[in-house]
Amino acid sequence: MSGAPPFSRIAIIGLGLIGSSIARAAGQAWEGLTVTGHDASAPVRARAAELGFCAHVADTVEEAVRDAELVILAVPVGATADVACAVAPALAKDAIVSDVGSSKAGPAAALAEALPGHVIVPAHPVAGTERSGPDAGFASLFRGRWCILTPEAGTDAAAIEKVAAFWAGLGANIEIMDARHHDLVLAVTSHLPHLIAYTIVGTASDLEEVTESEVIKYSAGGFRDFTRIAASDPVMWRDVFLSNREAVLEMLQRFSEDLSQLQRAIRWGDGDALQALFTRTRAVRQSIVDSGQDDAAPDFGRRH
């Protein structure tokens, strides 16, 4: 338990991996916090009620948000505007609204347009897995991970503090950042790697002279690590790329230029250039381990 909860009633709209993990983690963190959930999908609502991570699973979005002090949208970013419009008429006057979208500028603009007069504190927990749905969530998902808040300048400081305290109670480290800067940073650390994984797995499955069974059989050569990322939710990632278009295109342009340089080094037998880059990238991996964002177990701790 993390002491007194920053809110006594919260509502979570979207009960998939992230929404259900928030509910589970909040339930573990604070006894005095009531979580009401809602999901557009009736089977998801039924499963959430069965799993019991919310005190109540509401059949309508209006019922879910009534009396909530904090409303968190945990839906694909493309659904933000529709859900924000649906919650608007039922929101308590001083309710704080947040989201968990993997891109920030687009969803924040949609929230601001649909909810004038409400305090909006957008958030992005930089934590997740390739799985989705209410069964995929778990309470420790955010522990030791970063949660980036991207409030507009001038947002009520007390509201930002309460949302930060909420995420800290779930075990996250908090960073506050401008939404556009967030989108640029995440374009390179998350969105581009997903795009590359989707491409490599797509390329391998399109090859005619290498059979699918060979791709699967020899996947431990590196391919299978890309397949984990490329198994991520198709709807969620479609929306991320459409919503963070500019930043992703900018990073993709830089990536293409760097790839061309590597292509040139291989073509001209420039081993020094290859070795220099690979030495630099190995040090990046070490920094990630040193900062506690991954552990040092070889092969991601897989049992052999």
How far lies 82's CA from each of 40, 67, 78, 88, 267, in Å?
11, 20, 8, 10, 51
Check residue 74 for interaction with ligand NAP (CB under 6 A): yes
Check residue 244 for interaction with ligand NAP (CB under 6 A): no
Q: Choose the binding region for ligand NAP from 40-48, 163-171, 212-220, 284-292 (rule: CB under 6 A).
A: 40-48
Cβ-based nearer residue to ligand NAP, 225 or 270: 225
* Closest distance of CB 209 from ligand NAP, Å: 35
10, 11, 17, 172: residue in contact with ligand NAP (rule CB under 6 A): 17
Check residue 230 for interaction with ligand NAP (CB under 6 A): no
Q: Which residue has the tokens 């984990």?
A: 228
12, 57, 83, 201: residue in contact with ligand NAP (rule CB under 6 A): 83
Cβ-based nearer residue to ligand NAP, 46 or 216: 46
Check residue 82 for interaction with ligand NAP (CB under 6 A): yes
CA 150 to the chain's CA centroid = 14
Q: Can you spell out the DSSP letters for 47-101?
A: HHHHHT-SSEE-SSHHHHHTT-SEEEE-S-GGGHHHHHHHHGGGS-TT-EEEE--
41, 173, 219, 227: residue in contact with ligand NAP (rule CB under 6 A): 41
6, 128, 151, 169: residue in contact with ligand NAP (rule CB under 6 A): 128
Give the torsion sign (CA, 152, 108, 17, 127): negative
Beta bridge partners of 147: 125, 174
> What are the b/e assignments for 192-228, b being 16+ CB within 10 Å?
bebbbbbebbeebeeeeeeeeeebeeeeeeebeebbe
**Residue 130 DSSP class:** S
The interface with ligand NAP within residues 259-288 (CB under 6 A) comprises none
Check residue 159 for interaction with ligand NAP (CB under 6 A): no
Q: Choose the binding region for ligand NAP from 33-41, 212-220, 247-255, 261-269 (rule: CB under 6 A).
A: 33-41
**Residue 116, Cβ density class (10 Å: 0-12 exposed, 13-18 middle, ≥19 buried):** exposed
Q: Which residues bind ligand NAP (CB under 6 A)?
A: 13-19, 39-41, 44, 74-77, 79, 82-83, 100-102, 124-125, 128, 132-133, 233, 236, 240
